[in-house]
Structure 1
Amino acid sequence: MSRSRWSILTVIVVAQTGSISLLFGVPFLIPLMRETEGITLTQAGTVAAAPLLGLLATLIIWGALADRFGERLIMTIGILGTGVCGAGATLTDGTAALGLALVAAGAFGSSINVTSGRAILAAFDVSQRGLAMGIRQSAQPLGLSLAAVILPPVGLAWGYREALLVPAGICLVMGVVVAVVVPSHPREERSRVRAPSPYRDMRLWRVHLASTLLVWPQFVGGVFALTYLVSEQGWDPVSAGALLAVVQLLGAGGRIGVGVWSDRVDSRMRPMRIIAAAGTVSMIVWALGDVFAPALALFGLVAVTVIAACPNGLAFTATAELAGPAWAGRAMGVQNTGQNSMAMTVAPVFAAVVTAIGWPLALTAAAVFPLVAVGLTPVRGERSGGAAQAQPERALT
């Protein structure tokens, strides 16, 4: 069983990496998109945010379906659908049609977020769950790193739409692998558990809200780092993409590291609060560097991109533990919905703010979001509500 659960986790990480590289890799194509289509930064940012609309619309639905039918079926449908829609996006004409295809890809891709977290809740006990969820959450920076390395050069050679065929192909291959390897824990396999709603506890709401606020610095870095390096510091897209690929790898390591940290200190929220404070400081450093020193701005940009990626695994682990197996799919759907609601607004809103008031003030304003998250993170009494008693779902089957 020990060997099996690590195999399951490996397949989940590879599948989610492919999905992330498609759904969140579009920002690395923004300079090429603007050059090809002749559109503004705000328009390009809106297209880049299109997958989030699909994600937002379907997360809770996929979570409920995963609770009902199990992980294997829902994850397989989701990863295959993501690949098909991503490949279809290359056949579109105009940015509106491209955006619709990306919305559809996001709608399928959202299933992977909730089902993969639920599968890890089933496979790992509380002593290793932070590590496992951190590894699972490393798929996001790994996917962004893959996109940063592959999409700009392929886009330069073949066109920015055609570049999407690479992550789409990964999704299609991994759909077959998921169907073979990932187990399933549908509701019928449990002993008719009738758990009360975890939303009677305000801590779960605070976890959702704090992690939603932390999306802002994460997506400012993820969406606009390459554009900032190209437009403000004169980098070429390929070199900027290579740097950001390394940065995303650091972010992946950071997610795993904070997962281990949370297991060892027996807390998800204390590390999350510290990381939120560090994200506030790094955003201000980026803003000050833009005014006074390009090297300082680069340091702040890297720090924001790495640090902001770290707390996601903590929030998802806390959500799963507070919700319990009977509610895990739906609770992680709610968690993802809140985060993606925020993420969907970041690209167009931040682009408009930058256009109106410039980078330094826009970055300073962005620092408010993680600062508020520091106060909202529910550290007091974290373990008293039964998170430590949350058992692997397999114990209920």
Structure 2
Amino acid sequence: MTTPRRAWTMLALGVAAQAAGTLVVSAPALLIPHLVAQGMPLASAGLFAAAPTIGLVLTLIAWGAVTDRVGERVVIAGGLALTTVTVVAAWLSAGNPVLLGVAFLAAGMTSASTNAASGRVVVGWFPKERRGLAMGIRQMSQPLGVTLAAVTVPQLTEGSGIRAALVLPFVLSAVLTVLCAAGIVDPPRPARTAPAPGAASTTAANPYRSSGFLWRVHAVSVLLVVPQFTLSTYGLVWLVGLGWSTPAAGLLVGVSQFVGAVGRILVGAWSDRARSRVGPLRVVAVSAAAVMGVMALVDVSHWAAAAVFLLVATSVTVADNGLAYTSVAEAAGPSWSGRALGTQNTGQFLAASAVGPGVGALVGTLGFAASFGLVAVLPLLALPLVPRTDRSHD
């Protein structure tokens, strides 16, 4: 089956929209050194960094349900417009940490619109045998957004203050609001036909009631997202503690996120060739446990090659997202994919919200080595939960 040319345009817009939203919600974590230098405790700074993630959790399923009902274009463009407004509010609140945190909370609530909706665009426009690759490209949006934040926010904040760091998020959100409103076309969907008398409707059947597959993938993703957010939230702080300057550490975090984005594409293409999402997912879980264990050893030994290990660990710990995301969309089907993807992201961001204050408290009490070692246990707990076979509506 050939891939429609329009599908690649939709993918490009979906990636850009999600990257812009990720840039906005990633900024607070990269403000941690600045906030700590101004006297804020690390655990409190971690809670501040979690504000956008909490906002995402509050609204992801709702945005998914709206997407199922009204389509992708309205949700993506409308959500980006609201995100632009929240960035303006953050700019105005830059001198007040409490108001700034509230603004970032609102930014998370509005940027959640792009998560489920952009995933639906990919699933809707690409045939099954290309979805792993396409979703791997789509999943580049998260590390690309973090990369943009990592190479701009620390440097601009250190040189010119928080307001300067918010200019790029504002510009990208505003521009992509216009581009997505003009360019996104909702994918074709199967017609909803009325069931025969006495027969149950299969089109809109709740996939959560037919098996435990989706619940298991959600649980696996919750466990695997903790190592990912541990590194994206505290990788910068860890490097600074090893003697790196803040700008250099921010640049390395950005590079590692970009390498991770490329890795997502390769893993997605691998799943297409293997004709399986859950098989590669199992391999990624084992690898994530291994690299977090190595990170603990690196911290204890203070190896000079810390940058290399952080780059590898970041690449491995982000590799599961596209696999799980594609698997959820395929298992849920077109009538439920928005809500299922919203549920998928809700579980992940609930865990991610706990990483900021939780891992911050662990690091403050036990240090980075023990904290990395404890985080390494979670992918091992995910292994028995990975389903043995895939499920798909096509």
Shorter-chain TM-score: what band?
A: over 0.9
Residues 103-141 of structure 1: CA deviation (Å, up to 9, x unaligned): 100000001001001111110110001111110001011
Amino acid at match of 2:248: S
Unaligned stretches of 5+ residues in structure 1: 391-397
2:234 to 198, 210, 224: 224
Pairwise CA RMSD of aligned residues?
1.6
Deviates more, 1:247-256 or 1:153-162: 153-162
Question: Who is 1:381 aligned against?
Answer: 389
CA contact 1:66–1:115 (8 Å) conserved in 2: yes
1:357 to 334, 357, 366: 366
Matched, 1:335 2:337: no
CA contact 1:68–1:186 (8 Å) conserved in 2: no
Deviation at 1:185, TM superposition (A): 5.3
Q: Segments of 4+ in structure 1 off by > 6 A?
A: 186-189
Mapped to 2, the partners of 1:98 and 1:81 lie a distance apart of: 16
Question: Who is 2:223 aligned against?
Answer: 213
Question: Who is 2:199 aligned against?
Answer: none
Q: How does 1:35-114 map to 2 (within 5 A)?
A: 35=37, 37-92=38-93, 93-114=95-116
Question: Who is 1:181 aligned against?
Answer: 183
Deviation at 1:301, TM superposition (A): 2.4
Mapped to 1, the partners of 2:379 and 2:304 lie a distance apart of: 23
Amino acid at match of 2:73: R
CA contact 2:61–2:346 (8 Å) conserved in 1: yes
SS at match of 2:159: helix
Question: Who is 1:317 aligned against?
Answer: 326
The verdict on how the C-alpha distance between 1:228 and 1:292 changes in structure 2, with shifts beyond 3 A counting, is same
Amino acid at match of 1:209: A
Question: Who is 1:201 aligned against?
Answer: 211
Identical-residue share of aligned pairs (%)? 42
Residues 211-255 of structure 1: CA deviation (Å, up to 9, x unaligned): 110110000110000011012x11111111111111111000001
The verdict on how the C-alpha distance between 1:188 and 1:271 changes in structure 2, with shifts beyond 3 A counting, is closer
1:148 to 131, 147, 150: 150
Amino acid at match of 1:139: S
Q: How does 1:131-170 map to 2 (within 5 A)?
A: 131-170=133-172
Deviation at 1:189, TM superposition (A): 6.2
Mapped to 2, the partners of 1:44 and 1:165 lie a distance apart of: 22
Deviates more, 1:17-26 or 1:101-110: 17-26
Amino acid at match of 1:229: L
Question: Who is 2:292 aligned against?
Answer: 283
Mapped to 2, the partners of 1:73 and 1:190 lie a distance apart of: 21
Mapped to 2, the partners of 1:75 and 1:188 lie a distance apart of: 21
CA contact 1:152–1:237 (8 Å) conserved in 2: yes
Question: Who is 1:394 aligned against?
Answer: none
SS at match of 2:112: helix
Mapped to 2, the partners of 1:235 and 1:381 lie a distance apart of: 45
Residues 352-394 of structure 1: CA deviation (Å, up to 9, x unaligned): 011111111111101011111122111x232xx4x1x42xxxx
Mapped to 2, the partners of 1:250 and 1:311 lie a distance apart of: 14
Amino acid at match of 2:323: L
Deviation at 1:87, TM superposition (A): 2.2
CA contact 1:58–1:107 (8 Å) conserved in 2: yes
Matched, 1:257 2:259: no
Q: Given the two structures, how large is their TM-score scaled by the length of structure 2? A: 0.94
Deviation at 1:77, TM superposition (A): 1.0
Mapped to 1, the partners of 2:57 and 2:297 lie a distance apart of: 34
CA contact 2:299–2:369 (8 Å) conserved in 1: yes
Mapped to 2, the partners of 1:87 and 1:208 lie a distance apart of: 34
Deviation at 1:198, TM superposition (A): 0.8
CA contact 1:73–1:179 (8 Å) conserved in 2: yes
Residues 322-378 of structure 1: CA deviation (Å, up to 9, x unaligned): 000010000001101100110000010000011111111111101011111122111
CA contact 1:287–1:297 (8 Å) conserved in 2: no
Deviates more, 1:185-194 or 1:348-357: 185-194
The verdict on how the C-alpha distance between 1:247 and 1:198 changes in structure 2, with shifts beyond 3 A counting, is same
CA contact 2:61–2:339 (8 Å) conserved in 1: yes
Mapped to 1, the partners of 2:277 and 2:73 lie a distance apart of: 28
CA contact 1:51–1:106 (8 Å) conserved in 2: yes
SS at match of 1:42: helix
